[in-house]
Amino acid sequence: MSTITTEELAATTLLRFATAGSVDDGKSTLVGRLLHDSKSVLTDQLEAVERASASRGQDAPDLALLTDGLRAEREQGITIDVAYRYFATPRRRFILADTPGHVQYTRNMVTGASTAELTVILVDARNGVVEQTRRHAAIAALLRVPHVVLAVNKMDLVDYRESVFAGIAEEFTAYATELGVPEVTAIPISALVGDNVVEPSAHMDWYGGPTVLEHLETVPVSHDLAHCHARLPVQYVIRPQSAEHPDYRGYAGQIAAGTFRVGDSVTVLPSGRTTTVTGIDLLGKPVDIAWTPQSVTLLLADDIDISRGDLIVPSKDAPATSQDVEATVCHVADQPLTVGHRVLLKHGTRTVKAIVKDIPSRLTLDDLSLHPHPGTLGANDIGRVKIRTAEPLPADSYADSRRTGSFILIDPSDGTTLTAGMVGESFAAPEPVKDGTEDDGWDF
């Protein structure tokens, strides 16, 4: 183990990623091996797992116990909820959203993928691409996760044959590309033996690519910001009204997309008023330029009415505002979503009243088939919805901006988070719908 200096540790970047796999694909083993081989599992944690495994009569430590933190999970031997795991290498800090493979998997995978820059999808080399694999690919595509890794596991059980791996990689890549996944990296592994997880495999000379960990360490984490629309949802207005700062008035928020510069002409939505950026405070430090995901305070030339919930955008690149939102949603609550449902919609920092006007279709992830006019969406259903909001909303297409193209629906009576929404088309390469009687643009 090389010595890591304080400076090196502090200069690493952060990668958020998620894992998905069917039952018995070896996901827990892969996660356990990533943590274990990167020396992120500490002695007392491992001892606790060994104790617990032994008391259950298991011979080897069950690495799933590292992540199954709740009593009910350990008792039932299943993972109920997304677990977040943290590990680091000299190059990068990782936040892993470990999503369960069976119970409520759609909801949990959508949750994990919403903040992930990369998803690892596992398949069993003996089974190849199965129904669940296609679902996982569809969710990664819907959530626009920029990087997808296909980990073809259990290569040891197919004699490390290149042809098996190549066939699976080709089939998956073709399917994912059709859905609009921008990048697929296929890696042949054996999580159990350790091939190509952290250490390169000695059994697969034909493979010249990176191990899973090498790929995680080197994949680029930020997009090309030059092409992103700049967006700042205003969280809070900072007005000290103190002797030292009698006239300070700053608009605080986390830049959701793009970059802002001092001197930019900006428009405040939904009011449409325009002004100029005169200063940017980066947590106490004045800067000329700031970019996503920095938390900043913008100072503006004119004293115009701006409050929490407003969106500051470049005047030359403002989104249209509308009270009608069409979106793909994943329903995450047990109580169903129905046509006519009165809800709250939270977009950026703005929460508005809204009504579900129509549910034109429900989507089956296995084969991407459509069920027109289902009337309701139940837990873990994915579908298209039309929503009317009480106030105009400056929403981007989710394809352009994951932060300002997303929203959640909330039940106003009990506060339950009902639905995760993504504005605009579902997939990057939409299949036109055959039924010509409906509004066009339903793109499953």
Partner 1 sequence: MTTVATVEEGTASPYALSHLDALESEAVHIFREVAGEFEKPVILFSGGKDSILMLHLALKAFAPAAVPFSLLHVDTGHNFPEVLDYRDRTVARHGLRLHVASVQDYIDRGVLKERPDGTRNPLQTLPLTEKIQSEKFDAVFGGGRRDEEKARAKERVFSLRDEFSQWDPRRQRPELWNLYNGRHAPGEHVRVFPLSNWTELDVWQYIAREGIELPEIYYAHEREVFRRSNMWLTAGEWGGPKDGETVEKRLVRYRTVGDMSCTGAVDSDADTIEKVITEIAASRLTERGATRADDKLSEAAMEDRKREGYF
Residue 402 identity (one-letter amino acid): R
Nearest distance in Å: CB 442, partner 1: 23
Nearest distance in Å: CB 129, partner 1: 26
Q: How many residues comprise the chain?
A: 444
> No. of H helices and E strands in the chain?
8, 25
Nearest to 377 by CA among 333, 318, 409: 333
Nearest distance in Å: CB 149, partner 1: 14
The angle formed by the CA atoms of residues 431, 434 and 440, to the nearest 5 degrees, is 75
42 vs 304, which CB is nearer to partner 1? 42
183 vs 248, which CB is nearer to partner 1? 248
Nearest distance in Å: CB 117, partner 1: 11
252 vs 301, which CB is nearer to partner 1? 252
CB 231 within 8 Å of CB 256: yes
Nearest distance in Å: CB 11, partner 1: 6
Q: How many CB atoms lie within 10 A of CB 284?
A: 6
Nearest to 296 by CA among 230, 247, 250, 347: 250
1 vs 60, which CB is nearer to partner 1? 1
Alpha-carbon span 95 to 116, nearest angstrom: 9
Alpha-carbon span 390 to 21, nearest angstrom: 40
128 vs 229, which CB is nearer to partner 1? 229
Residue 71 identity (one-letter amino acid): R
39 vs 342, which CB is nearer to partner 1? 39
Nearest distance in Å: CB 328, partner 1: 13
Strands 322-331 and 417-423: what pairing?
A: antiparallel
